[in-house]
Chains A and B, each alone.
Chain A
Amino acid sequence: EAQVTQNPRYLITVTGKKLTVTCSQNMNHEYMSWYRQDPGLGLRQIYYSMNVEVTDKGDVPEGYKVSRKEKRNFPLILESPSPNQTSLYFCASLGTGTATNEKLFFGSGTQLSVL
C-alpha cells in the first residue's frame, strides 16, 4: 500500500531536549516536505526536498533541521525545542509523474507539545 509513515503520533517533551520526528515513504517519490499546522494559520511549509541531498527552506524553517540521505526518509530534527514549536506536524511526499497526476501524500501527523 502506498503510504507515508510518520512517527511518533504524539510527543510531549521539555524545552531544549533534542527530538526527531521520522518520515518515510514507499512510493519512490523524489519530493518530500514538512509542514506545521497552527490554528488560524493553516499549514506552513518548514522544509522541502526535491531529491536526495537537496533540501530547501520553506516559510518557517527557523528552529528546525532536516536531512535527506536516502530517497525514502526525510526526518525533521528539533535541536533545542521551544514552546512556540508546539504544533501539529505533517510530512508529505509528492508524486510528480506529470502535472496532471501530481498528488501530495500525507503522513498521519505528529502532535508535538513542548513544555
Chain B
Amino acid sequence: RKEVEQDPGPFNVPEGATVAFNCTYSNSASQSFFWYRQDCRKEPKLLMSVYSSGNEDGRFTAQLNRASQYISLLIRDSKLSDSATYLCVVKGGGTSYGKLTFGQGTILTVHP
C-alpha cells in the first residue's frame, strides 16, 4: 500500500460545480496534513493546511479523519481558474518524523 494515495482523476466538471477529492495515508503517526495546488510543471503552492477540526477558506473546505486515515478537499462553485493538479501532503511522525510524502496528485479541469 502506498503511503499516501489519491485518486488521480482526471475530474472534469462544469463551472459552478462542487467537487471533492480524498486522500488516504498509511502512517497512523502522521502529524501534519496539507493540500497543495500545482499548475503545469510549476512549483506547488500551499492551498491550505488541514486541521483536526476541519477548516474552510472561502470556497475550499478541508477535513481530516484520523480514525479512517484520510483527508479531503471540497471545492464549491468551481471556477475555470481552479483547473490544476491538487496534491495532498502528509508529514510523518514516529520513525518517519520529518518525512514529507506527496500523493500522486488529482487533476481537475473546470470547463465553461
Contact = CB atoms under 8 A, between A and B. Distances in A.
A binds B: yes
Interface string A38-55: 001111110010100000
Which applies to chain A's interface (DSSP): helix, strand, loop or mixed?
strand
Given A33-B100, A44-B102, A56-B99, A99 B43 contact: no
A104 B45 CA distance: 8
B87 A48 contact: no
B41 interface: yes
14 contacts: A33-B100, A42-B87, A42-B102, A42-B105, A45-B101, A59-B101, A88-B41, A90-B44, A100-B49, A104-B34, A104-B44, A104-B46, A107-B43, A108-B42
A43 B44 contact: yes
Contact of B31 (A31, A99, A100): A99
Contacts, number: 58
A43 B102 contact: yes
Contact of A48 (B8, B99, B103, B104): B99
A112 B101 CA distance: 22
Interface residues of B, number: 24
Interface of B: 8, 31-32, 34, 36, 41-46, 49, 51, 87, 89, 91, 98-105
